[in-house]
Structure formats: C-alpha cells, structure tokens
Amino acid sequence: MRRCVTEDYAPGKSFLLRSIRNLFPRKVSLPHEACSGTKILSRCEAMAEPAIAERSFDEDAALIERIRAGEDDLFMDLIQPYERSVYHVAFSVLKNTQDAEDASQETFLKAFRHLDQLRALRTFRRWLLQIARNEALLRRRKDRLHLHDSIDEPDDAGDSDFTPHDLADWREVPSKILERKEVCWHLNRALEGLPQKYRETFVLRDVQHLSEKEASEVLGVSVAAVKVRLHRARLLLREKLTPVFGRRRWIHQLDFFKKRQQTVSCELVLQQLSNYIDNSLDRELMVDIEKHARSCRRCSVLVDSTRKVVQIYCDERVLEMPDRYSERLRAFIMRMTGKR
C-alpha cells in the first residue's frame, strides 16, 4: 500500500520530519548513489505512526465480506484509510476544495451502494479511486470548467519533447523549513498548476503509489501514456519548485542537446529520466547513465532534483485537506444511509 522513500525511521518524530530527513544530502548525489538499487515509486516503505493505520488487501477483503453480510456499520472503518486518497484524486481533476469534497462524498456513497458489484475484493482501493475520478469528471463536465483549459496543452505524443530550462542546483533543505506552511503552500500550488492530465497521473503514481497498470486502468489510458504523462509531470514540477528549493543558478542558457562523443547523451538521459528514477531500465543502460552523470554536472543535477520532487510528494499528508473534512464526510454518509 502507500509507502515512502525513507528506508528507516524513528518513532516519535513528526511525519514530515521522518519522511524528508534524508531527502537532501549535503552534496548532490550521483544517480547511482541516491537510487540504491530501489524503485522510488513501487518500494517506498511505510511511515512510522501514520495518521491513519494502514491495512492489508486481505483485511480490506474481510471487512467487505462482513459489510456484504449485513454489518453496514463497518463501512466507515473500511473507508477511513482512503478518505485522503479519494479527496486528492477528486481535487486533481476539479482544483476546487468544495467541489472535490462534494465529489468525495458522492464517491463513498456510490461505493457503499454498489459494494456488491466489486468482484475482486483486493482491488477495492483502485475501484474506489476510479469512482472518485469518474465522479469528479462528471461534476467537471456539468460545470463546464474544461472550457477554460488552455487550447495549447500538448498531446501525449509530444510530451517527451519537454526540455527543462532552469537547471539550478537544489540546495540542502532542513526538515524544519519543509514543515513551514509557506513551503507546503508552494508544494500544493505547484501541483495545482499542472495541466489536469499530468496532475492526476502524478497524484495516482507518485502520491497514491499506484502501479503503472493500475493508474492506466483508473485513467482509462495506455500504460505508455501513463509513463509519458508522469515523466512530463515530474519535469514540470521540478521547474515550478526550483525557485523555492534551488540555489545558485549555475547555468543560464541550456545547451542540453549538445552532441557528445559517448554512448549516453544528455538527450537520452532526459528521455529516460523517469524510467531511470523508477529503476525500470535494463541494467546495462542504468550503468551507462550513471557513468554519464559522473562526468556531466547538468545531468547529475537534473536527476537529483527530479528525484527530490518525487520524494517530497511521497506522503500525501503534505497536500492540503479541508478542515474537518472527515467529520463532514461521516455525517454525510450516516445521513444518506440512515446509519447512526
């Protein structure tokens, strides 16, 4: 289930301190040093003392069976770990707090009423997030908000052509700074500033940690499209957050595609950046990219700062939630289902 990138933790510390205390090394790490042979997205370890206790797939399935057998009161226990996830998925489409909360309430109500239609009990979370996205899209179409979207937004086919412009080296950021409200504000505004298709893909993959296949099923697109959108989303977020976390702007004009007499070029590093961070390339190419980064300062900085973007958003609790959201959600479910 949801996991973070930190490989160890110390109970008693705040969640943000635990999740980001190893985030920014004192020097820019080369890709092979920071990766440690693990996938950031698919092998993020669970955080100590989470706000909501994690549950296994089997525990979810057991609860669902009991609810189906007539123990409706357990529904609130079933959805508790997913309250934030559903809200963030809805918000990634709607970008409006009240609309996202309304969509979340309708999502859980539909899940309660149609729980018997869930065939594979272990897929409950993915099923729930798919309902949330569909509900948000329905509400968005009714409000015709999509008419305000930019007509210049590129198609998926051209997403991999994006070139980063600001290659400022990201400085060491103490955990205390990351706990400040203004920094969290920047993180939320940067995510909100992404085009919808990149924002919701990033939320599903890097915040909710769905697999590529799961995200493709929720979004209704191919796995290849998920990869392309995630790659673009990470680079866009890196650009947006560099003024916040970047330090000396040591390069002013990017000559990123300058041809080099070597096996791996800067262009190839850019194209395969997300695959490299996710450790989904073959070993030979991974090694070649690491060798290239040892001699190319620009690529080393690009990989390091983009990885930090993924790490910063690893725990969904860095994203904003409406005050008393859970209380209103529970009151709504009880009112609509007649439960007390």
pLDDT tens digits for range 118-128: 988 878 999 99
C-alpha span between 199 and 213 (Å, rounded)? 17
Domain assignment present for residue 101? The answer is yes
Contacts of 312 (CB under 8 A, 6+ apart): 20, 23, 178, 187, 241, 318
- Residue 108 covered by a domain: yes
Residue 313: C-alpha distances to residues 35, 154, 190, 221, 253 (Å) = 17, 24, 11, 23, 29
Residue 46 is predicted with a pLDDT of: 35
Question: What per-residue confidence (pLDDT) applies to 144?
Answer: 63
* 307 within a domain of the structure (yes/no): no
Q: What is the distance between the alpha carbons of residues 325 and 84, in angstroms, rounded to a whole number?
A: 9
Q: Is residue 7 part of a domain?
A: yes
Joined together, the tokens standing for residue 256 give: 């990123």
User: Quick one: which of 112, 101, 54 has its CA closest to 81?
Assistant: 54
Examine residue 1 and state whether it is found in any structural domain, yes or no.
yes
In whole angstroms, give the CA distance from residue 202 to residue 174.
Answer: 25
**Backbone angles phi and psi of 4, in degrees to 5:** -120, 170
pLDDT of amino acid 251: 38
Dihedral sign, Cα of residue 224, residue 226, residue 231, residue 236 = positive
Q: What is the pLDDT of residues 180-206, one digit of tens each?
A: 677 788 889 999 999 999 999 999 999
**pLDDT tens-digit profile, the chain (340 residues):** 444 433 333 333 344 444 434 444 434 344 444 433 334 333 333 333 344 556 788 889 999 999 999 999 899 999 999 999 999 999 999 999 999 999 999 999 999 999 999 988 878 999 999 999 999 999 988 876 555 454 344 555 444 455 555 455 545 544 555 556 777 888 899 999 999 999 999 999 999 999 999 999 999 999 999 999 999 999 999 989 888 776 544 333 334 444 444 578 888 998 999 999 999 999 999 999 999 988 898 888 888 889 888 888 887 888 889 999 999 999 998 888 775 4
Residue 73 placed within a domain: yes
Strand partners, 4: 45
Tell me, what CATH number does 191's domain have? 1.10.1740.10
In total, how many domains does the chain have?
1
Q: How far apart are CA 208 and CA 69, in angstroms?
A: 30
Which residue range forms the structural domain that includes residue 236?
1-29+45-145+174-247+316-340
DSSP state of 206: I
In a domain, 227, yes or no: yes
Helix/strand number for the chain, H first, E second: 17, 0
**Residue given tokens 């995630």 in the structure block:** 230
Q: How far is CA 293 from CA 19, 32, 221, 265, in A?
A: 26, 9, 33, 10
What integer pLDDT is reported at residue 245 of this predicted model?
Answer: 75
> What pLDDT does residue 67 have?
93
Residue 189 lies in a domain: yes
Distance of alpha carbon 295 from alpha carbon 318, whole angstroms? 35
Kindly state the helix (H) or strand (E) to which residue 143 belongs, with its residue range: helix 124-143
